[in-house]
Structure 1
Amino acid sequence: MTTKMVFAQPQPVLDARESDEWTSGICDCCDNKPQCCFAFWCCPCFACVKTRKYGQCLCLPLLDIFGPAHPATLAMRVSMRHRYGIKGTICKDCAIATFCTACAWCQMAREMDSRAIPIALVGTRPTQ
């Protein structure tokens, strides 16, 4: 019986979509009408669902309820810009998070959908 030793595992190949802009505008809510309606009528619920999908704590957006500023929306927007390499400024993010909260969440949801990279887990079995 011979044993094969594997020295290098195959690495996953990611299809990078290089763009330094948002894939949709802040006012493109009608691109996904059901999502837009959900965000408009129940923005806290929509934000919690999308925050969880992004990989953060489900209740994080509830911090936005306690004041005129929206720290969770701002933090998510800045995090998403950094993760996807999107150009922008903290000043613009702050203004959008404060005055266009539902539209900001819709835009972030569309961005997550358009930049989603499916991950395939490959099963392994021992070679004989």
Structure 2
Amino acid sequence: MSYVVWHQPRPMVVQSDNGEWSSGICDCREDVRDCCLGCWCLPCFACKVTHDLGHCLCLPLLDIFSCPRPIATSMRVFVRHQYDIRGSLWEDCLLSTCCLACVWCQIAREMKTRQLPVMLSDIIRR
């Protein structure tokens, strides 16, 4: 006999100092390794960051087919809302369209700085 046990995510308490990103959109020198990976192999890096956020690994590959980048925009909005960072959908869309690698690198730096927990439910089978 097997049982499925669902663990609900715990409420996330976010401490927001000033409602700003911990690093700017072009602050790649703060994490050179991720910046290089983002510049030289953006699809792989975007998939890794999306997976770290707890979403489908291949989701960023959908951005290849459209000019306004819906996945990068939505991931930036997701992180912004998780940490109560000021901004607008317009700004997220503009940055994701014009500077895609910088957006993914900024999201990765923010996750490392604030250590965003994965929000998906854990499934344990016995």
Tell me the TM-score normalised to structure 1 length: 0.77
Specify every segment of 5 or more residues in structure 1 that has no aligned partner in the other structure, as ranges: 1-11, 119-128
Q: Which residue of 2 aligns with 1:48?
A: 47
- Give the alignment of 1:74-113 within 5 angstroms: 74-113=73-112
Aligned equivalents of 1:85, 1:99: Cα separation in 2: 23
Cα 1:17–1:82 change in 2 (3 A) is closer
Q: Identify the structure with bigger relative contact order (alpha carbons < 8 Å, sequence gap 6+).
A: 2
In the alignment, the residues of structure 2 paired with residue 80 and residue 15 of structure 1 have an alpha-carbon distance, to the nearest angstrom, of 11
Larger strand percent: 2
RMSD (CA atoms): 2.1
Q: Which moved more, 1:14-23 or 1:104-113?
A: 14-23
CA contact under 8 A between 1:80 and 1:108: conserved in structure 2? yes
CA drift at 1:21: 0.4
Cα distance, 1:115 vs structure 2: 0.3
Provide closer, same or farther for how the CA distance between residues 92 and 55 of structure 1 changes in structure 2, counting only shifts above 3 A: same
Partner AA of 2:20 in structure 1 = E
- Give 1:30 shift: 1.2
1:74 corresponds to which letter in structure 2?
T
Shift of 1:67: 1.8
User: How far apart are 1:88 and its partner, in Å?
Assistant: 0.1
Q: 2:38 is matched with which residue?
A: 39
In 2, the alpha carbon distance for the partners of 1:70 and 1:15 equals 27
Is the CA contact 1:17–1:115 (under 8 Å) kept in the aligned structure 2?
A: no
Amino acid corresponding to residue 98 of structure 1 in structure 2: T
CA distance in 2 between counterparts of 1:75 and 1:15 reads: 19
Alpha-carbon contact 1:60-1:72 (below 8 Å) kept: yes
Runs of 4+ in 1 over 3 A off after TM superposition: 14-19
> Does 2:63 correspond to 1:64?
yes
Q: Which amino acid aligns with 2:37?
A: F
Q: CA deviation at 1:19?
A: 3.5
